[in-house]
A and B are shown apart, each in its own frame.
Chain A
Amino acid sequence: MGNWRKRVSALFLMLAVFVLMVACSDEDSASKDEASGEEKGKPKITIMTKLHTAEVPDEKLLKLLEEKANVELEIEWVPDNNYADKLNTAFSTGTFAQAVTMGQDQVDQFKGAIRDGQFWEIGAYFDEFENLSKLKEEVVQNTMVDGKVYSLYQGRPLSRQGMIYRKDWADNLGLEAPKNVEEFYEMARAFTEDDPDGNGKDDTIGVTDRGDLIYGLFKTLASWHATPNNWGEKDGELLPEFMFPEYMESMNFVKDLRDNHYMNQDFPVTSKEDQQAMFKNGTAGIYVGAIVDILGLYNDAIELNPDLEYDVHTEVAGPSGEFTIWANPGYNNEILFPKSAIKTEEELKDILAFFDLMMTPEFSNLVQWGVEGEHYTVEDGFAVIDEDQDKIQREVFAYNMLGIGEPETNGRYESLHNYEPRQKAEELILINNNHLIHDPSITLDSETYVRDGERLQEIINDATYNYMLGEIDEAGFEKQVEKWKSEGGSKIIEEFNASR
């Protein structure tokens, strides 16, 4: 009897030893790696960032970066659509990389952890780095938590929203680019009913949209109607956008479009790919979204129909006669530095030095445009991108996520495009700058918002879709707003206003 016990315990022991051995050998190889890195005197930098393409990018630029910056880089590419989950998992298991990309909403969620000192406060080091100190004050302020800087931002134009439409269809029907929302509606109608492609068949619709209330049609259309950007002021109090009559007007506008079949019927469940396919294959004539996307859309579309012509347009005035457009805070992503991965100040400085380097013209051009002569050429001080979009997507695009700042601060080239409407988009972005609606809640705080904000927003998003689909009426929508309020919304309003 004692015999079998001994045997079993011996077996357990063996297994335990085996497990330990495996674990140790892993450790060994890891420490070896580090050692060899140190021999060469190269700091090793780990980065976790978002991947917006289907595949992990080609390593060509990575190798080049490592060589030029004299560092060892390890980039963890995480697909954008499950980035939030990955962030939380990495955080909870203590496996953060040294530099972690987050969107603004994600930073909001980590505010508690930031306040608890889980991330390095880096504002104090800016003075030591020539380039980082150049970051725009007003944008840096938008990234602050309790008045302290924890992140480096990746700048982008304040508003790239607008419409892309079939110029050839408009010409066929004698239509101009819409100057106001009525003309926009008329264009959608005509593209649906007046046979814009002249094939004698009733096979076209006006607008194509997807299940995205922000980057799709809705928010841009709402801002044309002068709806506040997330939060707006009424009688001296900050209130969420959906409590403003303009929000209702915008919903009615979309509802009319859908009820009359001037847009795709299943838009709440349409994916971006399907939406774009409808636009590219000549089913729909208007696409509302980021206007810089026109180049990619065009390149795909002319393979199906070489005669097609696109154009971009932004200045669509609302019922008041004024053109307004929503603005982002001046950046799309921030890079944070978790203390769980960076133990010492020295280490932090090594990493900041790397990102400081990323803000030099040489490196910011490299991560934005690729290798000169291979991915782009320089003309009159502008970067002209190679026509081979697939190659750019595969080899360069993903590395954009390493850039810091914006052309004004990092000195990289602005782009110049051979495709004229794409170039026009750059000009329209500048025009947008004069008509911006800013989000007043960016720098404000609400504990309830951090905890329940996303779930509460779901109530409003559902109500918005249901209203536009005619499932609920105005009273039904108001009821959902009341639900939002009673489940924490009122508290958010209170807390935001109190933190002003």
Chain B
Amino acid sequence: MTFSLRFRAALLSLLILAAFLGVWHLATRGTGTAATMSPEYAKLMGLTATAGKSAMPGPLDVGAKLWEHLRNPFYDNGPNDKGLGIQLAYSIARVGIGYLLAVLVAIPLGFLIGMSPLMSRALDPFIQVLKPISPLAWMPLALYTIKDSGLSAIFVIFICAIWPMLLNTAFGVAAVRKEWINVARTLEVGHLRRAFTVILPAAAPTILTGMRISIGIAWLVIVAAEMLVGGTGIGYFVWNEWNNLSITNVIIAILMIGVVGMILDQILAQCTRLVTFPE
């Protein structure tokens, strides 16, 4: 009886999931006792108050609600009520735009910093100060100066996605082996050609690692930004359901945020594998 490692791991994963769901189900089964009250009064009260139902939904409630959302993810009932799919699409679009802008700025700038020790030292203090600022700390400033909440959210994605890419690009470029550059130099390769044919491929795995960290951060930030700005997006969805004290929907949103974050990360991981070369 020998199974492959992969099979055994999958089995264990399923076991852990089943145990988790089981404990969750038992814990939220409704421990309180039903309160005694007149039927007219009970009609005005919620299940938590009348039937002693737990305020926390069980896995079956969440599952049923999730199915309801997944069956119709793209409905649109006006500006404040859209399907889960549309909300996720808005968030992904915002992250995509902010992230692309960050790529456009971070990679050339990272190249510059990596290739020029002078620039590296001159820009270092700014990067060090700006890097640790929490993205949400930018939000009020962005709202006040940009005067557009949609653009502000994109700006916040941009500003937080830029640093890991910038630092990793600079590091990757600076760490390209001197021999390779010297070989290029003896072959009298021009500056631009050297950058594209020697340095870029050599630094690419490090650059993509930076991009992978960045997309993770961007996806973390969008939820908080949309909760603040409101309107559309998965963050707004969480806020709206929190407003309704619907923990079931909040849990579904958390699950969705996790799944989409994982997919985004896996896409970039795949890209990293494509550009990695054995030495």
Query: Do chains A and B interact in one complex?
Result: no
* Chain B residues engaging chain A, CB cutoff 8 angstroms: none
